[in-house]
């Protein structure tokens, strides 16, 4: 998609809730296509099969990132503060590595499915937004199953990051 300037997903976790965002930018002429593409990629992720190899690689990458980040004092102090504020105590890195190891493909699919079916999307636009689909159109696109030719594979866009 040469017309996509950027696309990224973020997750913010809090003690009692969370926020999952997908952000994208393109020329305003392609705004409707951008939103459809982002929704389609999200649907691919929800409906695709995650292999044991992909899951193991993602777990190793996440644990590696966690441990490397904790080598910096500032990050370690921030991590301690966040843990104490949200849970009342600090957990050692081994605790989190063990939690990561316990994640299954079913856990991921259940979470993704709940994220797109149990919470209506919020849509925010900036700039020329006359081609921005309505929230209802996005919600409808999220609820429709993908064509069978897409539903059993993880999209190439995400394979680079897992």
Owning domain of residue 138: 4-159
Residue 158: pLDDT band (50, 70, 90) is very low
Half-sphere exposure for 38 (CA within 13 Å, toward CB) = 25
CATH number of the domain residue 43 falls in: 3.30.830.10
For residue 139 the two structure tokens come to 């919600």
pTM above 0.75, yes or no: no
Give the range among 85-89, 129-133, 147-151 with minimum mean pLDDT.
147-151
Residues 49 and 107: their CA atoms lie apart, in Å, by: 13
Residues 162 and 45: their CA atoms lie apart, in Å, by: 11
More confident residue, 150 or 127: 127
pLDDT tens digits for 43-62? 888 888 889 999 999 999 99
Total domains in the chain come to: 1
């Amino acid at each position: 998609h040469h017309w996509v300037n950027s696309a990224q997903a973020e997750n913010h976790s809090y003690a009692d809730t969370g926020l999952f965002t997908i952000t994208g930018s393109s020329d305003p002429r392609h705004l409707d296509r951008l939103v459809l593409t982002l929704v389609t990629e999200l649907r691919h992720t929800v409906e695709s099969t995650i292999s044991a190899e992909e899951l193991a690689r993602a777990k190793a990458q996440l644990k590696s990132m966690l441990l490397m980040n904790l080598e910096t004092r500032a990050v370690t102090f921030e991590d301690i503060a966040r843990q104490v504020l949200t849970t009342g105590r600090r957990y050692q890195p081994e605790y989190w590595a063990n939690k990561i190891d316990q994640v299954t493909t079913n856990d991921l699919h259940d979470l993704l499915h709940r994220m797109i079916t149990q919470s209506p999307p919020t849509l925010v636009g900036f700039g020329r937004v006359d081609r921005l689909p309505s929230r209802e159109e996005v919600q409808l696109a999220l609820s429709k199953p993908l064509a069978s030719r897409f539903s059993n594979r993880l999209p190439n866009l995400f394979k680079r990051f897992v």
